[in-house]
Structure 1
Amino acid sequence: MELGNETARPVTVNEFQRHPKDTGSPDVQIARLTTRINHLSDHLSAHKNDFHSRRGLLRMVGQRRRLLIYLSTHAVERYRAIVDRLGLRR
């Protein structure tokens, strides 16, 4: 089983942390979900009939969307910054 996104995790977390031990802020969660979504999208382009992974992808996209909505209502500047840095459509 390949876990290609494990090596990308520290870079993503370090970029978006608000303090050294921050792992649960919406910024970090959105960045980690984006990394996992991109990895899983690549997997699904090669394995079109992997419906279990597709369900997981849709679940992650929904979770990221909810976190983005939360961030947009509570901290608009951080929301705009994270959307720009990750290159998300909004």
Structure 2
Amino acid sequence: MSLTKEKKAEIINTFGGSDKNTGKTEVQIALYSRRISDLTGHLKEHPKDKHSRHGLLKLVGKRKSLLAYLKNTEIERYRQVLADLDLRK
């Protein structure tokens, strides 16, 4: 299932504070996490879909690099994002 405009706006409001704040690291991590969970569900139904698996691995790598950046710059925001998104670290 793709990310609808309403869901995306809800995620942006939750993590960014306003509709316009889409570049905030927390917003990007949250959007990547949502897309990762959607792709994971897709791959459970279609295990031989190698192209989607490749896209999933790219998204995981992007999210990982954003988390590393946030951890190195502002550790409190990093911990808050991990708690809000229930990511294991």
**TM-score, normalised with respect to structure 2:** 0.92
Which ranges of structure 2 fall in alignment gaps of 5 or more residues?
none
Q: TM-score, normalised by structure 1?
A: 0.91
Q: Quick one: which amino acid aligns to residue 84 of structure 2?
A: R
Equivalence for 2:74: 75
Provide structure 1 residue ranges, at least 5 long, that are not aligned to the other structure. none
Q: Among the aligned pairs, what percent are the same residue?
A: 41
Instruction: Please tell me the residue identity of whatever aligns with 1:84.
Output: A
Q: Which amino acid aligns with 1:50?
A: D
Residue-pair matches, total: 88
Task: Tell me the CA shift for residue 8 of structure 1.
Answer: 2.1
- The one-character-per-residue Cα deviations of 1:19-48 (angstroms, maximum 9, x if unpaired) are 541101111000000000000000000000
Query: What do you get for the CA RMSD once the two structures are aligned?
Result: 1.2
Q: Name segments (4+ residues, structure 1) moved above 4 Å.
A: none
Determine the structure 2 residue equivalent to 1:5: 3
